[in-house]
């Protein structure tokens, strides 16, 4: 048994896409759950086809011997008060807590353009220290609430949102307490112009959830140069599964091992399943991570240039 206490999960985006329901929209949830379990995944994050009643979700996952990894929550703390956010999250938080999830993926969607047909440079930004301080204080207070229910907030830095770049992540982490966990997403950090290995080294003590997303540098470059929207970039294949792009996952997993990370490694790669067949890519992502987890060697490779 490895002392590296991680489990490999997957997001249903490989089969069906929440932001673009036309991608895999015809695929039944049962297909994703059956194939994911067959490949070897131990759990799933939520997607738009999962039941939202706690017992119904528990029953469904038990049929496939799968765990609930977590679930995305569309937060609005850039616009809402902590009290409003606490009221809004209640049902989702209860769903996660009752199904054994210990982290909640928090995505800031206020003013976000991640689902809009607008170029990424038009994303929202905080321009003053005061704005950052006030936002961070709300995130921190909200995170303390979720933690009181046994679920740690995992803040998802995301393309097209207020917290996108490595500098944004730095500002949020320095202004918040340990109640605010960081969801480390190698794909989004690379797309945002960062070196994911460097950023992981910087914030590893705060990482409570990991999305394993690879990138195709040529597509990322086109997206920037041609002012594509986030969804344009997804459709063109900016993201893929671990082992199919330029991200140095051996170095990332080695660092997580050395730090004693405990939790989920989640394959999450928005792609068109017609172009990137769901089963084949989900299996490639799983096998890549499994081999790195089971390996006794620690990578000393420097990170590959991703873009």
pLDDT tens column, 259-306: 999 999 999 987 777 788 899 999 999 999 999 999 875 444 433 333
Rounded-to-integer distance, Cα 217 and Cα 28, Å: 32
For residue 153, the model assigns a pLDDT of 98
For residue 272, the model assigns a pLDDT of 77
Rounded-to-integer distance, Cα 242 and Cα 4, Å: 19
For residue 48, the model assigns a pLDDT of 87
Map out the domains of the chain with their CATH numbers: 6-294 (3.20.20.150)
For residue 269, the model assigns a pLDDT of 85
Structure tokens at 204: 């590893």
**CB-CB contact of 150 with 94 (8 Å):** no
CA 192 to chain centre: 14
**Burial of residue 130, with CB atoms counted within 10 A of its CB: 0-12 exposed, 13-18 middle, 19 or more buried:** exposed
Q: Give Cβ neighbours of residue 233 (< 8 Å, ≥ 6 apart).
A: 120, 159, 191, 219, 220, 223
CA 199 to chain centre: 15
**CB-CB contact of 196 with 255 (8 Å):** no
DSSP SS3 for 178:
coil
Q: What is the pLDDT along the chain (307 residues), one digit of tens a residue?
A: 346 789 999 999 888 766 665 555 678 899 999 999 999 999 999 988 999 999 999 999 999 999 999 999 999 999 999 999 999 999 999 999 999 999 999 999 999 999 899 999 999 999 999 999 999 999 999 999 999 999 999 999 999 999 999 999 999 999 999 999 999 999 999 999 999 999 999 999 999 999 999 999 999 999 999 999 999 999 899 999 999 999 999 999 999 999 999 999 999 987 777 788 899 999 999 999 999 999 875 444 433 333 3
For residue 275, the model assigns a pLDDT of 83
């Amino acid at each position: 048994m490895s002392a590296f206490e991680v489990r490999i999960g997957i997001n249903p985006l490989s089969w069906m896409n929440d932001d673009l329901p036309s991608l895999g929209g015809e695929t039944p949830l049962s297909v994703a759950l059956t194939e994911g379990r067959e490949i070897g995944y131990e759990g799933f994050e939520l997607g738009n086809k999962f039941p939202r009643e706690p017992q119904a979700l528990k029953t469904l996952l038990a049929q496939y011997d799968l765990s609930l990894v977590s679930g995305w929550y569309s937060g609005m703390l850039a616009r809402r008060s902590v009290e409003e956010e606490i009221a809004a999250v209640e049902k989702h938080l209860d769903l996660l807590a009752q199904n054994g999830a210990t982290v909640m993926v928090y995505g800031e969607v206020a003013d976000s353009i991640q689902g809009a047909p607008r170029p990424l440079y038009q994303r929202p930004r905080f321009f003053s220290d005061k704005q950052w301080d006030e936002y961070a204080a709300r995130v921190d207070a909200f995170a303390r609430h979720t933690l009181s229910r046994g679920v740690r907030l995992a803040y998802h830095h995301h393309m097209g949102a207020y917290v996108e770049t490595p500098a944004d992540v730095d500002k949020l982490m320095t202004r918040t307490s340990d109640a605010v966990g960081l969801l480390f997403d190698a794909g989004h950090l690379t797309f945002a112009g960062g070196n994911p290995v460097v950023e992981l080294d910087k914030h590893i003590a705060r990482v409570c959830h990991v999305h394993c997303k690879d990138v195709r540098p040529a597509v990322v470059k086109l997206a920037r140069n041609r002012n594509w929207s986030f969804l344009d970039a997804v459709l063109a294949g900016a993201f893929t599964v671990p082992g199919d792009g330029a991200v140095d996952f051996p170095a990332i997993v080695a660092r997580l091992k050395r730090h004693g990370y405990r939790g989920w490694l989640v394959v999450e790669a928005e792609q068109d399943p017609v172009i990137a067949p769901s089963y084949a890519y989900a299996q490639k992502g799983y096998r890549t991570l499994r081999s790195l987890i089971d390996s006794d060697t620690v990578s000393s490779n420097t990170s590959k240039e991703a873009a």
